[in-house]
Amino acid sequence: MNLLSADIEKRYPGGATIRAALDRPTDQFTVTILFGPSGCGKTTLLRCLAGLERPERGSIRYADETWLDASAGVFVPPQRRGIGFLFQDYALFPHMNVAANIAHGLHHSSRSERHRRVAEMLDMLQLAGMERRYPHQLSGGEQQRVALARAIVRRPRLLLLDEPLSALDAPTREQLRRELRRLLSAFAIPCFVVTHDRLEALALGDHLMVLDRGTVRQSGPLGEVFSRPVDAHVAQMVGIETILPARIVRVEKGLATLAIGDGSMQLVAVAPSVPDGDVLVCIRGDDVAIHTGADSGGSARNHLPARVSSIDYEGALVRVTLDCGFRLVATITRQASEELALRVGKEVIARIKATAIHLIIRSITRPAGADGLSSVDQRPGTLSPSSLASSKSRSGDT
Amino acid sequence: MDWTAIWLTIRLAACTTVILLILGLPLAYWLASTRFRGKFLVDAAVALPIILPPSVVGFYILWATGPRSPIGRAYESITDGMLPFSFPGILVASVLFNIPFAVRPFASSFAAVNRKLVEASWCLGVSRLRTFFGVVLPLSWTGILTGLVLTFAHAVGEFGVVLMVGGSIPGVTRTISISIFDDVQSLNYAAAHQTAIVLIAFAFVALCITYALQRRVLPL
């Protein structure tokens, strides 16, 4: 397997230093998310991969090519890395129309070849009829598609996207969050996406790298990082403890019934605006209440019989991992834990309000011939989001 | 009206402008895009002629290009002539003295081009040179045109440096402003008036063009 390997250190005169190491496959479609708060160094890391920044120390290798070897003075400029870069504000050339923007990187091709490839892109990204328009005459979503077309028309080997959705207004952003993953998988180019938005990370990614203050705090399959953060700090940044692949089986009176795993486990959630088949179910630990006894009253729509599988103390809070046919994390106070006399193995009821379940629509890329969900290991308690990551993509994270 | 002087002045100003277009663009682009920490030294050196009296600049150019200087000797061995009191001499002086009037507007218009556009072009595999001509130049041409108009106008009106280096040889180094000076010295006020009014009108038109370009009044 060919790898993109980087181990770099970039210093800024102001004192900030960014250190990061990564190894990602290059010969299959996989989306790596560089995630973290602003100023954490994620954009700098992306720019180093592009060759727009030159790290003081370290190396970057793409398959058998050396893009950077700081100690030997090797530095390949962005022109010769064969990458596509999508800028945060798209950076369309304002003096060129859509067709000229897309064709800008094709100056080596013949005129007819240029025409053909531009037409192909216009068609693929639903931009037909707009080739004579100028960037200021396009909506935000159209600008993004032109920028994507311009980046991929050269058939790059690696696509780098810097906050691809942040320049859009909220409704467009939500719509494109759903579409972008589908588009990227159609290009079948390995991608790196910088974002600080966890919904964006969930909707787009396969692999997640969490950065903070210039260092990588955690790196792994998306679901695993979200469900098993290495420390409280990462947990706070990612903020969603339980993530499950699920399927909407019916929608009634604005409520969606979701089948998890083989369908023997069900959850009720508020139906999304576009009820699609496959979704990711996101539940924050704060939104899961634990009860003992069989009281089924109250407003919560979901009552799940569960067994406590582990208890971790984090200051005033307790992180309780439950097994209710899938892995569910609840964060409760230490006091509540003592009153409930929680211990590993105890039978409890987990309650979740339908409004506390957040659904992310995401067409799941299945391995050829396999149903994405049925390929998930379904022994009780092992339907974990980390198995999600390996089933929904061919990324080879496992 | 001293037509010889007017023609000489137009030739001097046009040559100065063309030379500064060729030399000034790369220098200005370097100034606008470099992360070199000593850039302020180059900025200061470029701006010097704005502050220095023309006599100081003229004196040093005279000294550096005189027949006893290495430059003067090299020039003499190649062309069999000398730089001071010749058209090439006042052209060198004019170019040096006009550097800030070309380079500063060029550099500020380059700096106004969004850096991301340049980087986007590089990431599309387009070379630095092709990016300069395809992206940077089309987006900064108003600033470049402003620099060229200012340079031309300033070269037309230059007096001190040209007088120091070239003296007042009719048809060779006697420009319009020197012709006015000579007319006044010989108390020929009528001739001085005529030429001076032409210069005033010309300067006013040139400045109108630059301000209109900056405010995008002209439909260019």
Most confident of A88-97, A219-228, B58-67: A88-97
- Which of A86, A87, A88, A102 best probes binding to B when mutated, by most B CB atoms within 10 angstroms? A87
Percent above pLDDT 90 for chain A: 50
- Residue A299 is classified by DSSP as S
B178-to-B56, B89, B163, B183 alpha-carbon distances in Å? 18, 16, 7, 9
Q: Where are the domains of chain B?
A: 3-32+42-214
Among A47, A39, A147, A44, smallest CA distance to A91 is for A147
Q: Which residues of A touch B122 (CB under 8 A)?
A: 51-52, 77-79
Q: To 5 degrees, how large is the angle CA A253–CA A258–CA A263?
A: 135
Q: Is the pLDDT of residue B21 over 90?
A: yes
Which residue carries 């479609």 as its tokens? A29
pLDDT of residue A53: 94
Q: What is the mean pLDDT of chain B?
A: 91
Fold of A3-238: Rossmann fold (3.40.50)
- Which band of pLDDT confidence, cut at 50, 70 and 90, is reported for residue A383? very low
Who wins on pLDDT, A236 or B67? B67
> How many residues can be counted in chain B?
220
Chain A interface test: which of B117, B123, B128, B131 (most A C-beta within 10 Å):
B123
Q: Please, where are the H alpha helices in chain A?
A: 42-50, 98-103, 111-124, 140-152, 170-187, 198-204, 222-227, 232-238, 334-339, 385-392
Give the integer Cα–Cα distance in Å for B138 and A97: 14
**What are the chain A neighbours of B117 within 8 Å (beta carbons)?**
91, 93-94
Phi, psi (deg, nearest 5) at residue B143:
-65, -40
**Interface mutation vs chain A, best among B119, B124, B142, most A CBs within 10 Å:** B124
Q: Which two tokens stand for residue A352?
A: 């979740």
**Contacts by B62-66, CB closer than 8 A, 24 or more apart:** B62/B164, B62/B165, B65/B89, B65/B92, B65/B165
Sequence letter at residue A286: D
Paired tokens of A138: 């396009």
The top-level CATH class assigned to B3-32+42-214 is: mainly alpha
**pLDDT tier, A279 (very low <50, low <70, confident <90, very high otherwise):** confident
Contacts 24+ apart (CB under 8 A), A136-142: A136/A94, A138/A98, A139/A172, A140/A167, A140/A168, A140/A169, A140/A172, A141/A168, A141/A172, A141/A175, A141/A176
Mean pLDDT value across residues A138-154: 94
Question: Confidence class of residue A233 from pLDDT cuts 50, 70 and 90?
Answer: confident
Q: Which residue of A has its CA nearest to B137?
A: A95
3-state SS of A218-256 is EEEEHHHHHHCCCCHHHHHHHCCCEEEEEEEEEEECCEE
With cut-offs at 50, 70 and 90, classify the pLDDT of residue A388: very low
> What is the distance between the alpha carbons of residues B175 and B90, in angstroms, rounded to a whole number?
10
- Is A83 at the interface with chain B, CB within 8 A? yes
Residues A281 and A267 sit within 8 Å (Cβ to Cβ): yes
Q: How many helices (H) and strands (E) does chain A have?
A: 10, 21
Q: pLDDT category, A104, cuts 50, 70, 90?
A: very high
For an interface test with B, the pick among A107, A159, A161 (most B C-beta atoms closer than 10 Å) comes out as: A107
| pLDDT tens for each residue of A87-103 | 999 999 999 999 999 99
pLDDT in tens, B80-112: 888 889 999 999 999 999 999 999 999 999 999
CA dihedral sign, ordered A354, A244, A275, A145: positive
Whether residue B122 and residue A107 make contact (CB cut-off 8 A), yes or no, is no
The phi, psi pair for A128, rounded to 5°, reads -60, 140
User: pLDDT of B4-18, one tens digit each?
Assistant: 899 999 999 999 999
- CA-based nearest residue to A47, from A16, A6, A14: A6
Phi and psi based region of residue A296 (left: phi greater than 0; alpha: psi -120 to 50; beta: remaining):
alpha
Residue range B182-206: average pLDDT? 91
The whole-number pLDDT of residue A397 equals 38
Nearest residue in B to A52, CA atom: B119
Q: What is the mean pLDDT of residues A336-343?
A: 90
Is residue A54 less than 8 Å (CB to CB) from chain B? Answer: no
Nearest-Cα distance to chain B for A60, in Å, is 17
Is A104 in Cβ contact with B126 (below 8 Å)? yes
Q: Report residue B48 CA to chain centroid gap.
A: 13
Model pLDDT, residue A191: 96
B139–A91 C-beta distance less than 8 A = no
CB A395 within 8 Å of CB A30 = yes
Minimum-distance CB partner of A107 among B114, B126, B139: B126
* Whether residue B184 has pLDDT greater than 90: yes
- A259 token code pair: 């089948």
Average pLDDT over chain A, rounded to an integer: 85
Percent of all residues in chain B with a pLDDT value above 70, rounded to a whole number: 97
B124 contacts A104? CB cut-off 8 A? yes
Please tell me the predicted confidence (pLDDT) of residue A170.
Answer: 83
A331, burial (CB in 10 Å: exposed 0-12, middle 13-18, buried 19+): middle
The least confident of A50-64, A105-119, A273-287, B51-65 is A273-287
CATH number for the domain running over A242-392: 2.40.50.100
Residue B145 to chain A, least CA–CA distance (Å): 17
Residue A78's SS3 state is helix
Confidence check: pLDDT of A382 > 50? no
CATH 3.40.50.300 in chain A, residue ranges? 3-238
Which chain B residues are closer than 8 Å to A50 by Cβ?
123
The whole-number pLDDT of residue A398 equals 33
What CA–CA distance (Å, rounded) separates B43 from A306? Answer: 72
